[in-house]
Amino acid sequence: MASAEIDYYELLEVERTADDATIKSSYRKLAMRWHPDKNPGCSDSEARFKAISQAYDCLKDPQKRAAYDRYGHEAFQNGGGGGAGGGQGFGGDFGDIFESIFGSAFGGGGGRQQARRGADLRYDMEISLDEAFHGKTAQIDIEVSQICEPCEGQGAEPGTGTRRCTLCGGHGKVRSQQGFFMVERTCPTCHGRGEVIEKPCRSCGGEGRVDKPQTLEVNVPPGVDSGTRIRVAGKGEAGPFGAPPGDLYIFLHVKRHSVFEREGTTLITRVPITFTTAALGGDIEIPGLDGERHKIEIPAGIQSGKQLRKRGVGMPVLQGRGRGDLVVEISVETPTKLSVRQKELLRELQATETGDECPGSKGFFDRIKEAWNDLTD
């Protein structure tokens, strides 16, 4: 089964193009908010603090950030390796360059290379906000290179074998003189294996892998958001000549909802109410994504734009406990169709108004009057 990994940029609430100063500023703000000393006894806050600290430790370092931008979390797994198409990852690329220049003079080189792991793959999945709330188990169909069964990934026709490469003598590398240096490179004939196939497999043409359709089951946990990445280990491309396969990364995209907008774990909806409800107060019911009806109390005298918050009924916390909040933004609606009786009642109300009923309007017109007096003095 797959597990979700939160993007470092998402953890620090910055864009991928953010400069060092922006990343540092956002980290300080988040560290202050989630520091265990400010949230004693809260394991979720402690876990969040550790996660953002790990993210900042990576992104503040130019080399680590470059590796992360290229390979994602895989850049620092399995001992720091895991770059696309290579088992050595960020650190291993530098080691290969160093060794190819200085060779065995510094204790390296000479041995045949291990076949590199297969390439990682990306799959984009679109889900609804309801599915992001509840989580789901989804099936996806992809076509990916897999180990050739007749040759068991070795690339040789069954019943035949391999022979030692004559160009490199089975070492997988060849050396050449360049100025004062002896440069060591991967053998172009055997591609570092030290062996060549006598008779290539007819099923895969000597590649050791073939493209096949595959159906996978993916677990999408509750609380995911657009940009959440799910890693399915070992379901990427098969490695050449029997090497381990890469991984499959599923990037999620959450569709817009007809009622709710989302900011992190907070759900936001805009609700129109009549001006009589706004004046007298009342209550409304909002159907939540959890299937429950949530009652919202409307205080008397509420104005358009006022936000009412109901805690703990928003989106689930990804890989954590609890839920965010539901925020209801009020919009006071003016009626466009009135009966004769309704108009009479409104005129009676208007006749009793003193100006103190709407302090906002009274204050505004008082300021207008003062400004006019200043102009005419």
Binding-site residue positions: 148, 151, 165, 168, 187, 190, 201, 204
Helices 62-71, 89-102: axis angle to 10 degrees equals: 110
**Count of structural domains within the chain:** 2
Q: Residues forming the annotated binding site for Zn(2+)? A: 148, 151, 165, 168, 187, 190, 201, 204
Q: Over 60: is that where the pLDDT of 86 sits?
A: no
Check residue 101 and give its pLDDT.
Answer: 36
362 with 314, same domain: the answer is yes
Average pLDDT on 243-265 reads 93
Where among 255, 272, 290 does a domain terminate? 255
CA 256-219-224 angle, to 5 degrees, is 35
Residue with tokens 């030692």: 164
Confidence at 363, pLDDT banded by 50, 70, 90: low
DSSP per position, 195-260? EEESSB-TTTTTSSEEEEEEEEEEEE-TT--TT-EEEETT-SPPPGGGPPP--EEEEEEEPPPSS-
Percent of the chain predicted with pLDDT > 70: 81
Q: Is the pLDDT of residue 104 over 80?
A: no
Q: Say whether pLDDT at 85 is over 60.
A: no
Residue 109: predicted pLDDT: 42
Residue 319 and residue 50 in contact, taking contact as beta carbons nearer than 8 Å? no
Identify the residue with better confidence: 92 or 334.
Answer: 334
Candidate ranges 67-71, 79-83, 102-106, 199-203; pick with highest mean pLDDT: 199-203
CATH of the domain at 246: 2.60.260.20
249 and 290 belong to one structural domain: no
pLDDT mean over 231-250: 88
Q: Stretch 360-369: mean pLDDT, rounded?
A: 59
Q: Is the pLDDT of residue 42 over 90?
A: no
Per-residue pLDDT tens digits for 156-166 = 888 888 888 88
Domain limits for position 141: 112-161+198-255
Same domain? 132 vs 243: yes
155 lies in the same domain as 210: yes
pLDDT above 80 for 34: yes
Is 289 domain-assigned? Answer: yes
Q: Which residues contact 52 (CB under 8 A, 6 or more apart)?
A: 11, 12, 27, 30, 31, 34
- Residue 98 belongs to some domain of the structure: no
